[in-house]
Structure 1
Amino acid sequence: MDQKPPTDVIASAHSEHALPFEDTTDFDNADRGYIAALTPCVVKAADGRVVWDNDVYSFLDGPAPTSVHPSLWRQSTLTARQGLYEVVPGIYQVRGLDISNMTFVEGDTGIIVIDPLVSTEVAAAALGLYRTHRGADRPVVAVIYTHSHVDHFGGVLGVTSEADVDSGAVAVLAPEGFTAHAVQENVYAGPAMTRRATYMYGSQLAPGPQGQVGCGLGQIPSTGEVAIIVPTVDIRETGETHTIDGVQIEFQMAPGTEAPAEMHFYFPRFRALCMAENATHNLHNLLTLRGALVRDPHAWSGYLTEAIDTFADRTDVVFASHHWPTWGRENIVKFLSLQRDLYAYLHDQTLRLLNQGYTGVEIAEIFQMPPALEQAWHSRGYYGSVSHNVKAVYQRYMGWFDGNPGRLWPHPPEALGGRYVAALGGIERVVELAQTAFDSGDFRWAATLLDHAVFADAQHAGARALYADTLEQLAYGAENATWRNFFLSGATELRDGNFGTAAQITSPTLLSQLTPEQIFDSLAIRVNGPRSWDLDITIDVTFADSAANYRLALRNGVLVYRKVAAEPATAALTVKLDSKFRLLTASVGDFSSPGLELYGDPTALQTLLGALDQPDPNFNIVTP
C-alpha cells in the first residue's frame, strides 16, 4: 500500500480551525472516577483469535499530526481511554473495551448490567475487570438493554446465561419492540449494511496516524461472538417504574430516535440518569453511512426536552452507553439542552431551506450552525455530520429525487463514467484534469473526475492511483471519523483490491429469535425474480414446536406466505420442522440433519431453494 503524506493544503487547513482547544472539561470528565485499566487491553476468543485490542491505539498521544484533523484527534484521544470508572458510588462503567460502554449498578445484593457490549468475550472481560476491583461476591441479577442496536446487547452471554434467565435468577429488561427490531436489522439488508460497515468503521484499516483513529462514537466494534437473550420484561410506558434488587428505576420511552426501540431511565437512589445513545459527546447520525432507515430528529429533540423536564431537577449525573458522564445539575441541563437544540436545529432549518427550493446537496453546502452549537465539543460531527444529516432530513421528507427533471433518469455509474470520459477527451485527459484539481487542492472535484474515470476503465493504473491519493487527502482533512474511514477504505481497495467483509460469529441464540415471518421474508428477498417467472410452487411448512402451519407460494417471481390450516392435499409438499432454527438450516440446503420431514414431492423444495440467490458480502464499492 503506497500511502502518501498530507499535502500543504490539508496541513494549512488544519491550522485554521478556531475551536476551544483550551477547554479541558471533557478530559477531566473522561478521567474522573478512574479505578483501573485492563492490562494488556487485548481480548481473545477461545480459539486464540483477537476480538479486541485497545492497545493498538497507544499512538493517540501528543499533538495532532497533519494527517488527522485536530478536532478528530482530540476526540479519539478521549474515546481511546479504557478501564473501570466510578460514575457515582454504586454505579460503575467499563469504557474502551468495545465501541460502547458497559455500566454496572450495585443493588442490595447483586448488580444490574446495562448494555453488555457487542460480543461475549469483551463483555466477560468487562465483568471480570469490575469484579477484580469491586469484589466477586455480587451476582448479576438483571440486564437492561437501552435499545435495539447490537453494541448494546450482543455480549449478553458474557454476563449471564440462558439458564439463569429461564430460572428467573436474572431479569432482562428492554423497551417494547426490542426483539423484533434487534433481529430484523440483520435480516433484510444485513449483508449490504455489513459490507458498508467495513468502510464506515475502517475495520480493514491499520490503526495509525495515516490510518484508522476511531469512529467518533468509540474506537471500533469488537469482533467476537454475538448473541441475544430475549427480554423477560418489556418496558411500555413513560413513567413506568420497576424495583430490582432494591434499586428503583423510572423509565422514559424514546422510540424512533437513535434506534426504533430505545428508552432512557433514572435511578432515584443515585440521582443518576441514563440517556442510552440519545445524548452523547458528538453529533450522532440521522442516517448512518452503513445504511439504515432515516431517523426522526424532531422526535429525538422532543424526547430530550421531556427528559430535561422530567429528570433534570433531581439529577446529579447523566451518563450514556458511549463516551463519558456529565456531572452537576447546571452542566447537565446545558448539555442536554444543547443536544436537544442540535437535532431540532438540523430538522427545522433543513425544512426551512427545502421550502425555499434548495435541494439536499445545496442545503448541506450552505448550512450554518449557531455559534453555541458550533463551539460545543459534544455537538461536533465526529460520527454523524451536519452534511450527511441535512441530506438525511431532506430524504426523510422529500425522497431521493431533487425535482430537477434532468436528474430524474440519469445513466448508472459505469455508463455515465464512459460518457463523461469520452466527452472530456479520453481517460488520459480526465486523469490530467484530475491531477490539476489535486495540485490546486480541489480534492472534491478530483474525486468526481476520477470516480468517472475508474467506472469507465477500472483497470487504468493511473486513474486508480490518483483516485486513491485523492481519497487519502480527503480523509486527512475530515473531522468526521466515519468519513475518514470511508475515504481511507476506498483508497485501500483502489491500491490493494477488494478486502471484503470480515466474518462475525453469530450465536444460534440470535438466529433463533427470528420469527417464521422474518425467516420467510429473508427467503423472499433472495428469490431471483427473472429466474422464477415461470415457477408455480406451493409448499406447506409446519412447526412441531408450535403446531403453526404456513403456506408458501412462489409465482411470478414472488414468494408469498400466510398462516393457514394444514391441507396437505392442496400443497405439492409439506415440510415438518422441529423448530424455526431447523428452517434456517434447510434454507441453505441441509436436508439430512434431524428435525426435518418431507411429505409429498421433495423436488418442490429443491426447486424453491434453487430459485434463491446468495447475498454477496464482498461486492465492490469504489470500483464497478
Structure 2
Amino acid sequence: MNKLKSQIAATYSFKTLKYQTILRGAFLVLGIILMPACQNSPNQNTSQVQDQEHPNITKLKSQNAEFIPEIIKLNEKVYVAVGYDGSNASMVIGEQGVVIIDALRALGAAEKVAEEFRNITDKPVEALIYTHGHLDHTGGTSAFIGNNKDVKIIAREGFKDELQEHSPVEPILKQRNIRQFGRDLPAKDIINRGVAPGITPTDRAGKGYIAPNLTFQDSITLNLAGIDIELHAADGETNDELFVWIPDLKTLFAGDNYYKSFPNLYAIRGSQYRDVKSWGESIRKMSTYPVEYLVPGHTRPVSGKTIVHSNLKNYSTAILSVYQQTIDAMNKGYTLQQTVDSVRLADALIEQPNLQEFYGSVPWGVRSIFLHYVGWFDGNPTNLYPLSSSQEAKHMVELAGGEEKMFYKLNQSLEKSDYQWGLELADYLLQTDYEKVKVTKVKIALLRVLAAQQINAPARNYYLSYSYELEKSLKESVL
C-alpha cells in the first residue's frame, strides 16, 4: 500500500495547497476501494511518499508565462494585446488610422483592450481583419469599431462555414468542448489550456461579433490606413484561415496556424478534418518572407529574423513530417494503431520549445490523417464486423478468469502504474453488473493520476472533467 501511495503522491502532490485536496481524495478512494488488493501486494513498503509533481506538469505550468496580460510594443506601429482573453488582438497604426487584427472572444475583455489601444493612439479604426472564424477571435469586434459602418471588416470567403454551430451534432460537440478546455473544472485544478489561460473572461462572450463586409478568395493587397497590407489564404487549423503580411513593417500575423506548441492537428472536442498537408505548406510559405516580427493567434509574439525563421521552419517541418510518415505507413498496409505507433518526430524537433505538446498531439494528428484518407476501416478484416462492446467485454472477463480476477488486475494496474491498461479493464467491467460503484471509483482515480502527468492541456482537462462527471453521477445514483 505504501508503494501505491507513493505513486499517487508523486503525481498528485504539487507543492501547493490547491493540489493537496486532490491527493487526499485519491488516497481516500484507494484506501477504501483497494485495501484488499494492497494487503496482498508483494511490493508494499518498498518506497516512500514523495512530495514532487510530475515534470510534465512543471513544464505545463511554465507555459503560463505566455499569458501574462500585457500590451506588447513590437515597433512604433505594431502593438499586441496578450493575456486579456484566450487569444491575441493586435493594432497596426497607419497615417490616417489604425487596423485591428482579431477581436478576442468576450466583449468585456475586448472593451478593455480597445481602451488600452486608444491610450496609445486616438486615430480611428479604419479596418478590422479576422484571421479566421473561431469565436475567440471574432466575439469582441464592436468594442473596437463601435457603430462606425464605414469600417472595413475583412475575412476569407467561406468564413465560419465549418463551425460547430452549423453541425447536426452540436450538443455533443459543446459537451466535448467543455471537457477539452476544462470550462467546468474547479479553480484548484486549472493550470492553462495549452495556448491560452486556464480561465478566460465570459463577459458577453461573442456579443460583439460583426460579420465581414469584404471577403477575398486567394490573396489580396489593400492599402488600409495608409499601409500596404497583404492577405493570403492559408488553410490549416481552419479552412477559412489567412495570414497578414505587412512588408514595410516586416511583420506577419499567423492567426492560429502558429503558436508556441505543437499544433492541434486534431481537436479532441471534435472538428472537421484539418488539412494537415496544407497547414504545413502554409507555414512553409510564411517562412519564405523576411519576417522580423511574428504574431501568433495565441501566446506571445516572436521577434528577430533568425529565431522567427527557425520557428516557422521547424514548425512546417514537424507538420509535414507527421503527414508524410502517416501516408508512408498507410501505404505499407499498416493498421491505424500500427501507424500511430510508427510515427514520431525527429529528436531535434522534439526538443524544440515551440513544439512541446502543450496543445496538439502527434498521435491525434496521425489518427486524423488516417481516417481522413481511408475512413473508419483500417484494412484489417477482423475489424469489418467487430464484436459489440458488451460481447467483447464478456469474452475478456472470461479470459481473465472472471470478474473478481479482472477487478484484482484493475487494482494492480494502479499499483504497477499501468494506468491506460487500467482504464481499459475498467471499461470492460463497466459493461457488466459487477461492482459498478467500486469500478467507477477506480476509474476516477486512474483518470486523475493520468491527468497529473500530462503535458498536454486538452488531455489533462478532458481526463479531469470526465472524472468529475463520473463522480457526480455516482453521487446522484446514491441519492
Could you say which residue in structure 2 is the equivalent of 1:376? 352
Q: How does 1:111-150 map to 2 (within 5 A)?
A: 111-131=98-118, 133-135=119-121, 137-150=122-135
Matched, 1:188 2:168: yes
Q: Which amino acid aligns with 2:380?
A: N
The partner residue of 1:72 within 51, 56, 60 is 60
Q: Which amino acid aligns with 1:340?
A: S
Q: Which amino acid aligns with 1:174?
A: A
Q: Is the 8 A contact 1:5 1:67 kept in 2?
A: no
- Secondary structure at the aligned position of 1:141 is classed as strand
Q: Deviations over 1:158-213 (max 9, x none)?
A: 3234x422xx2x1101112114345x6544332221110111011111233xx221
Matched, 1:218 2:205: no
Q: Is the 8 A contact 1:72 1:382 kept in 2?
A: yes
5+ residue gaps in structure 2?
Answer: 15-50
Q: Distance in 2 between matches of 1:498 and 1:127?
A: 46
Could you say which residue in structure 2 is the equivalent of 1:156? 141
Q: Is the 8 A contact 1:363 1:390 kept in 2?
A: yes
The TM-score, its normalising length taken from structure 2, stands at 0.83
Matched, 1:349 2:325: yes
Q: Is the 8 A contact 2:258 2:297 kept in 1?
A: no
Greater relative contact order, per chain length (Cα 8 Å cut-off, separation 6+): 2
The partner residue of 1:242 within 181, 206, 222 is 222
Q: Distance in 1 between matches of 2:139 and 2:409?
A: 48
Q: Is the 8 A contact 1:113 1:142 kept in 2?
A: yes
Q: How does 1:387-426 map to 2 (within 5 A)?
A: 387-414=363-390, 416-417=392-393, 420-421=396-397, 424-426=400-402
The partner residue of 1:461 within 437, 442, 463 is 437
Could you say which residue in structure 1 is the equivalent of 2:451? 475
Q: Distance in 1 between matches of 2:250 and 2:330?
A: 42
Query: What is the Cα deviation at residue 368 of structure 1?
Result: 2.5
Q: Is the 8 A contact 2:410 2:426 kept in 1?
A: yes
Query: What is the Cα deviation at residue 100 of structure 1?
Result: 0.7
Could you say which residue in structure 1 is the equivalent of 2:80? 93
Query: What is the Cα deviation at residue 96 of structure 1?
Result: 1.2
Could you say which residue in structure 2 is the equivalent of 1:593? none
Could you say which residue in structure 1 is the equivalent of 2:248? 269
Could you say which residue in structure 2 is the equivalent of 1:279? 258
Q: Distance in 2 between matches of 1:369 and 1:443?
A: 24
Q: Deviations over 1:258-290 (max 9, x none)?
A: 101111111123221111111211111222100
RMSD (Å) for aligned C-alpha atoms = 2.7
How many residue pairs get aligned? The number is 432
Larger Rg: 1
Q: Distance in 1 between matches of 2:466 and 2:5?
A: 17
The partner residue of 2:179 within 195, 199, 215 is 199
Q: Is the 8 A contact 2:61 2:192 kept in 1?
A: no
Query: What is the Cα deviation at residue 478 of structure 1?
Result: 1.4
Task: Give the number of the structure whose residues are more often helix, by fraction.
Answer: 2
Q: Is the 8 A contact 1:120 1:154 kept in 2?
A: yes
Q: 1:458 to 1:235 in 2, by over 3 A?
A: farther
Q: 1:403 to 1:498 in 2, by over 3 A?
A: farther
- Secondary structure at the aligned position of 2:285 is classed as helix
Query: What is the Cα deviation at residue 402 of structure 1?
Result: 1.5
Q: Is the 8 A contact 2:322 2:344 kept in 1?
A: no
Q: Distance in 2 between matches of 1:5 and 1:477?
A: 16
Q: 1:485 to 1:455 in 2, by over 3 A?
A: farther
Could you say which residue in structure 1 is the equivalent of 2:416? 440
Q: 1:104 to 1:290 in 2, by over 3 A?
A: same
Q: Deviations over 1:552-579 (max 9, x none)?
A: xxxxxxxxxxxxxxxxxxxxxxxxxxxx
Q: Is the 8 A contact 1:350 1:390 kept in 2?
A: yes
Q: Is the 8 A contact 2:160 2:240 kept in 1?
A: no
Q: 1:235 to 1:417 in 2, by over 3 A?
A: same
Q: Is the 8 A contact 1:253 1:263 kept in 2?
A: yes
Q: 1:455 to 1:405 in 2, by over 3 A?
A: same
Q: Which amino acid aligns with 1:198?
A: I
Q: How does 1:40-59 map to 2 (within 5 A)?
A: none
Q: Distance in 2 between matches of 1:214 and 1:205?
A: 11
Q: Is the 8 A contact 1:9 1:441 kept in 2?
A: no
- Secondary structure at the aligned position of 2:333 is classed as coil
Query: What is the Cα deviation at residue 493 of structure 1?
Result: 1.4
Could you say which residue in structure 2 is the equivalent of 1:583? none
- Secondary structure at the aligned position of 1:99 is classed as coil
Could you say which residue in structure 2 is the equivalent of 1:230? 211
Q: 1:207 to 1:412 in 2, by over 3 A?
A: farther
Could you say which residue in structure 1 is the equivalent of 2:32? none
Could you say which residue in structure 1 is the equivalent of 2:34? none
The TM-score, its normalising length taken from structure 1, stands at 0.65
- Secondary structure at the aligned position of 2:128 is classed as strand
Query: What is the Cα deviation at residue 9 of structure 1?
Result: 9.1
- Secondary structure at the aligned position of 2:287 is classed as helix
Query: What is the Cα deviation at residue 362 of structure 1?
Result: 2.2
Q: Distance in 2 between matches of 1:96 and 1:5?
A: 38
Q: Deviations over 1:116-156 (max 9, x none)?
A: 1112222112212333x415x23322211001211111222
Q: Is the 8 A contact 1:10 1:477 kept in 2?
A: no
Q: Distance in 1 between matches of 2:139 and 2:5?
A: 38
Q: Distance in 2 between matches of 1:245 and 1:148?
A: 23
Query: What is the Cα deviation at residue 459 of structure 1?
Result: 7.3
The partner residue of 1:490 within 460, 466, 477 is 466
Q: Distance in 2 between matches of 1:6 and 1:398?
A: 45
Q: Which amino acid aligns with 2:75?
A: V
Q: Which amino acid aligns with 1:178?
A: F
- Secondary structure at the aligned position of 1:73 is classed as helix
Q: Distance in 1 between matches of 2:388 and 2:201?
A: 36
- Secondary structure at the aligned position of 1:456 is classed as coil
- Secondary structure at the aligned position of 1:441 is classed as coil
Query: What is the Cα deviation at residue 110 of structure 1?
Result: 2.9
Q: Distance in 1 between matches of 2:214 and 2:6?
A: 53
Q: 1:145 to 1:319 in 2, by over 3 A?
A: same
Q: 1:426 to 1:226 in 2, by over 3 A?
A: farther
Q: Is the 8 A contact 2:393 2:429 kept in 1?
A: yes
Q: 1:457 to 1:121 in 2, by over 3 A?
A: farther
Q: Which amino acid aligns with 2:138?
A: F
Q: Distance in 1 between matches of 2:392 and 2:66?
A: 41
How many percent identity over aligned positions? 25
Query: What is the Cα deviation at residue 454 of structure 1?
Result: 2.5
